[in-house]
Amino acid sequence: MNIFRLTGDLSHLAAIIILLLKIWKSRSCAGISGKSQILFALVFTTRYLDLLTSFISLYNTSMKVIYISCVYATVYLIYVKFRATYDGNHDSFRVEFLIVPVGGLAVLINHDFSPLEILWTFSIYLESVAILPQLFMISKTGEAETITTHYLFCLGLYRALYLFNWIWRYYFEGFFDMIAIVAGVVQTILYCDFFYLYVTKVLKGKKLSLPA
């Protein structure tokens, strides 16, 4: 495992933990898009079905179980335990406009047309756009809490580090996956504007706001 994948995984894990702690400590899920978390739960569920069929390593299995457990815990906190604090009026992104096209694309463009491969491809495509409901919610409300922006930054950093991971693997292992790379590039592009605002505002102690 190269340093870019390891730090990418740790950044991804940090993002999930930051979000969980934010909700639990504040006893509130205000400003958090439940729809984005449902999409991420769908991403992890469809991607890690191979937990039932194969074993790669203890690290690999552990990370998959942690990701799945944490995202479902987050969904539970948003829609059950702290449901009264959830701002459903602002979390109004139409997720079917993401799921349906992504599902169709996964059926049409994948590696070998097996059920597990189609679901894996679906998860890759869906992850690239799963953050859109959260960004849309921030744009609609006009601002985001600092802790929420830290979550988004770690999530975007994870994806950017994975781009370097793929470059590393291409040059040193001869590995190349066009589907994962294209989806990763799309996802990273979605974070570019956020990264700029994070550096210029949040790190200087200002509140993040996105144009409506």
Average pLDDT over all residues of the chain: 88
Does position 199 have pLDDT exceeding 80, yes or no? no
Which residue, 9, 163, 38, is CA-closest to 98?
38
188 vs 94: which has the higher pLDDT: 94
User: What percentage of residues in the chain have a pLDDT greater than 90?
Assistant: 63
Residue 207, pLDDT score? 55
User: Per residue in 6-16, is it b (16+ CB within 10 Å) or e — as a string?
Assistant: ebbbebbbbbb
Q: What pTM, to 2 d.p., does this model score?
A: 0.89
pLDDT of the residue at 147: 72
In 3-state terms, what secondary structure has residue 144? strand
Least Cα distance to 94 among 37, 45, 143, 36 occurs for: 36
pLDDT tens-digit map of 101-120: 999 999 999 998 899 999 99
- pLDDT per position as a tens digit, 30-45: 889 999 999 999 999 9
- Give the model's pLDDT for residue 204: 53
Please state, in angstroms and rounded to a whole number, the distance separating the CA atoms of residues 106 and 114: 11
pLDDT digits (tens, 9 = 90+) for 125-138: 999 999 999 988 88
